[in-house]
Structure 1
């Protein structure tokens, strides 16, 4: 058993210590050349995403902010004895604004044009085409292939 241990010690002594310059000198020669990133056509282009974000800000953001501000305005009116507002009407009006914001979110996404040009102001003509795109995105890939041929 002692002989085996002595062999291990001699093997460790045979290893050479390389300096950093010699250890990494050939790394550039053995590395894989960089490849060009492949463009994916499945994502939403940036100009379309920006257009969607602007529409969502106006059609969903403003009603959502109004929905939150209903509570603040109602509180101010009740605490200053300007009017007596029942809590159920405050909740109903706030819920109405939140539902309007939810509808605005859907409208903002579906009404955005996928063309380079921005399209019309409201973008109502783009809604049916974008609904078809959304339906096609949820179909299996084989079914999409069969539909095209």
Structure 2
């Protein structure tokens, strides 16, 4: 009794006694296919990496402009511009995951056609988890 515990969401099945998913739960415990995970990772790297680099570039650019007396930039402006870039990168993290195609084909460059489908899947998954907890 002390050794049996409920698995965490997305925790892999380690083959322990009592951890075999039931037939109704088998679909919910499937892992993300490797090709889809790689596609998500590429999208996250691009949609998060570029804004993050831009956010760091704002600091460097402001420093160069101020030290060479090219422009007088207020520190608040630098902070707001870099903060906007970092927030854009945070949004890119979610977008990179939600815009990836789960089909065999890669989809389009931006993945806009997959965004609504994946959002609907996520919402239905959240609803199903809430129903399972209340039952």
TM-score, normalisation: structure 2? 0.69
- In the TM superposition, what is the alpha-carbon distance from 1:93 to its structure 2 partner? 0.8
Is 1:108 aligned to 2:133, yes or no?
Answer: no
Q: What are the Cα deviations for residues 49-78 of structure 1, in whole angstroms up to 9, with x where unaligned?
A: 110111111111110111012112211211
1:8-87 to structure 2, matched below 5 A, reads: 42-87=30-75
- In the TM superposition, what is the alpha-carbon distance from 1:132 to its structure 2 partner? 1.8
Larger Rg: 1
Taking the aligned partners of 1:59 and 1:98, their CA distance within structure 2 comes to: 11
Structure having the higher helix fraction is 1
Query: Where does structure 2 lack aligned partners over 5 or more consecutive residues?
Result: 1-20
Taking the aligned partners of 2:71 and 2:130, their CA distance within structure 1 comes to: 62
Q: How many residues align?
A: 107
User: Which secondary structure does the structure 1 equivalent of 2:104 belong to?
Assistant: coil
Taking the aligned partners of 2:86 and 2:40, their CA distance within structure 1 comes to: 19
**What does residue 11 of structure 1 align with?**
none
Query: Where does structure 1 lack aligned partners over 5 or more consecutive residues?
Result: 1-37, 145-149
Q: What are the Cα deviations for residues 74-114 of structure 1, in whole angstroms up to 9, with x where unaligned?
A: 11211121211110110111011112112221211111000
- In the TM superposition, what is the alpha-carbon distance from 1:142 to its structure 2 partner? 8.5
Taking the aligned partners of 2:97 and 2:58, their CA distance within structure 1 comes to: 26
**What does residue 80 of structure 2 align with?**
92
Taking the aligned partners of 2:59 and 2:69, their CA distance within structure 1 comes to: 15
Structure 1 residue corresponding to 2:125, chosen from 137, 143, 146: 137
